[in-house]
């Protein structure tokens, strides 16, 4: 692994880029926002392509924060209804940065912070990003000590392991917001990719994209990805993964680009997977709607306000630990 200066923020803070390389896979991670800037893998003929949407320069990320390209999202990935939740007798107000709701940790979430970086492990190509999110940051209670360790295994599998500890009760859900295009980022749309998700249910939404609390069957709907189907457009849904929360990462989804044969398999410890087909990409972006597919492993949206969802609460003495593994292959 190696690191280099990638750019400088307007306030002079340097941003570094770490390169992990192994087994034919190369991954580049930024200390700004924990962003996965690029993932390069070969196809069946050995043709290498970058399959994660991103920018060559820091300025691209600063100019276009809205889509969360490749970012480490937190303290709470996805929406919290009305930007408010109660926990252990306290009520906490967050930025309403998405209609009436709080989205992806607020105005200045983990995706816009500069993380400390250190090399991780001798057995794997890895980098460990860490930071302390102060008590009250973006309205969240508790001082959160958080890390995300990015590793490339011997077989070229790319994993992200998250860990967090707090000094007061809080809520945590962390994800990575990479948009995948297995044909190659910038080569066109990803809507022809085929996808399988091991989820028999999903969480239906109200008019402002907050879960109704119901778990609906995917059978007979366009959310039925139990058998492989063409992705298409118009998805921004959380799937209730059949396996639930698990201690180790279990396989939950497989995305394939039939033209190149490249396959991405996702395994996770998390109970939810948000499928977002990038339909809101605006004309100001160098990518068009549908140019990438985000597969965000996470707790469910709005869990802090939904008693029937897997808990996202972290209390002092406890550890939030989650892991997602991305494996690349060809068909
Ligand atoms: C959300 C979308 C949102 C996007 C922001 C996704 O994780 O589910 O609703 O528009 O992030 O880029």
Q: What mean pLDDT do residues 288-304 have?
A: 98
* This prediction's pTM: 0.97
Q: How far apart are CA 143 and CA 137, in angstroms?
A: 8
Task: Say if ligand 1 is within 6 A of residue 274 CB.
Answer: yes
Q: Is 177 a catalytic residue?
A: yes
Q: Is 16 a catalytic residue?
A: no
Question: What is the spatial distance between Cα 203 and Cα 213, in angstroms, rounded to a whole number?
Answer: 7
pLDDT at 176: 99
Per-residue model confidence (pLDDT) at position 123 = 67
Mutation test residue for ligand 1: of 35, 66, 280, 289, the one with most atoms within 8 Å of CB = 280
Please state the domain count of the chain: 1
CATH number of the structural domain spanning residue 297: 2.70.98.10
| Ligand 1 atom 12, closest CA | 67
pLDDT of 246 > 70? The answer is yes
∠ Cα 211 212 216 (to 5°) = 90
Q: What's the whole-number mean pLDDT along residues 88-117?
A: 98
Q: Is 235 in the pocket of ligand 1 (CB under 6 A)?
A: no
What is the reported pLDDT for 155? 85
Kindly give the number of the ligand 1 atom that is closest to the alpha carbon of 236.
8
Q: Which of 120, 125, 137, 296 is catalytic?
A: 296
Enclosing domain of residue 43: 2-330
Can you give the pLDDT at residue 1? 80
Phi then psi for residue 273, to 5 deg, are -140, 115
pLDDT of residue 156: 87
pLDDT tens across 151-160, in order? 999 888 999 9
Ligand 1 center to 28 CA (angstroms): 22
pLDDT at 115 over 80: yes
Calculate mean pLDDT across residues 199-219: 98
Q: What is the pLDDT of residues 165-195, one digit of tens each?
A: 999 999 999 999 999 999 999 999 999 999 9
Residue 22 Cα to ligand 1 middle (Å): 31
- What's the chain look like in SS3? CEEEEEEECCCCCEEEEEEEEECCEEEEEECECCCEEEEEEECCCCCEEECECCCCCHHHHHHCCCCCCCCEECCECCEEHHHEEEECCEEEECCCCECCEEECCCCCCHHHCECEEEECCCCCEEEEEEEEECCCHHHCCCCEEEEEEEEECCCCCEEEEEEEEECCCEECECEECCEECCCCCCCCCCCCCEEEECCCEECCECCCCCECCCCEECCCCCCCCCCCEECCCCCEEEEECCCCCCCCCEEEEEEECCCCCEEEEEEECCCEEEEECCCCCCCCCCCCCCCCEEEEEECCCCHHHCCCCCCCEECCCCCEEEEEEEEEEEC
Q: Quick check: 267 pLDDT over 80?
A: yes
Higher pLDDT, 128 or 121: 128
pLDDT for 154 equals 86
Residue 129, CA atoms < 13 Å, CB-side half-sphere: 27
* Cβ(276) – ligand 1 distance below 6 Å: yes
Question: Which band of pLDDT confidence, cut at 50, 70 and 90, is reported for residue 24?
Answer: confident
For residue 296 and ligand 1, the question of a CB distance below 6 A is answered with yes
Q: What ligand 1 atom has the least distance to the C-alpha of 296?
A: 7
| pLDDT for residue 269 | 98
Q: Please tell me the distance between residue 276's alpha carbon and the centre of ligand 1 in angstroms.
A: 7
Q: Determine whether the shortest distance from the Cβ of 66 to ligand 1 is under 6 A.
A: yes
Residues 220-245: pLDDT tens digits? 999 999 999 999 999 999 999 999 99
State the Cα–Cα distance between residues 159 and 270, nearest whole angstrom.
Answer: 13
The stretch 141-161 carries a mean pLDDT of 96
> In the predicted model, is pLDDT for residue 107 greater than 80?
yes
Mean pLDDT of 4-23: 96
Write down the pLDDT at residue 328. 97
Whether residue 51 is predicted with pLDDT greater than 80 in this model: the reply is yes
- The span from the CA of 304 to the CA of 175, in Å, is 16
Catalytic-role residue among 104, 177, 193, 237:
177
Instruction: Look over the chain and give the mean of its residue pLDDT values, rounded to a whole number.
Output: 97
280 Cβ inside 6 Å of ligand 1: yes
């Amino acid at each position: 692994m190696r690191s280099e200066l990638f750019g400088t923020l307007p306030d002079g803070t340097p941003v570094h880029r770490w390169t992990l390389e192994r087994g034919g896979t190369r991954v580049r991670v930024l200390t700004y926002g924990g962003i996965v800037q690029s993932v390069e893998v070969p196809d069946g003929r050995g043709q290498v392509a970058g399959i994660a949407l991103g920018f060559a320069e820091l300025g691209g990320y600063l100019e276009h924060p809205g889509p969360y390209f490749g970012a480490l999202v937190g303290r709470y990935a996805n929406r919290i209804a009305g930007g408010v939740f109660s926990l252990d007798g306290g009520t906490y107000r967050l930025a309403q940065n998405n209609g009436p709701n709080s989205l992806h940790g607020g105005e200045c979430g983990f995706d816009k912070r500069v993380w400390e970086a250190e090399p991780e492990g001798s057995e794997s190509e890895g980098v460990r990003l860490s930071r302390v999110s102060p008590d009250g940051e973006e309205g969240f209670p508790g001082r959160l000590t958080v890390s995300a360790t990015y590793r490339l295994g011997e077989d070229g599998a790319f994993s992200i392991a998250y860990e967090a500890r707090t000094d007061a009760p809080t809520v945590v859900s962390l994800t990575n917001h990479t948009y995948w295009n297995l044909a190659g980022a910038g080569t066109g749309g990803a809507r022809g990719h085929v996808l399988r998700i091991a989820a028999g249910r999903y969480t239906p939404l109200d008019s402002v994209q907050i879960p109704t609390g119901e778990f609906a069957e995917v059978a007979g709907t366009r959310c039925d990805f139990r058998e492989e189907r063409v992705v298409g457009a118009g998805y921004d849904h959380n799937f209730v993964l059949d396996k639930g929360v698990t201690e180790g990462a279990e396989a939950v989804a497989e995305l394939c680009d039939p033209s190149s044969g490249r396959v991405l398999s996702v395994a996770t410890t998390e109970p939810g997977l948000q499928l977002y087909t990038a339909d809101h990409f605006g004309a100001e972006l160098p990518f068009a709607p549908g140019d990438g597919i985000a597969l965000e492993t996470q707790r469910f949206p709005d869990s802090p306000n939904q008693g029937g969802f897997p808990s996202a609460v972290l209390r002092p003495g406890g550890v939030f630990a989650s892991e997602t593994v991305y494996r690349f292959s060809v068909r």
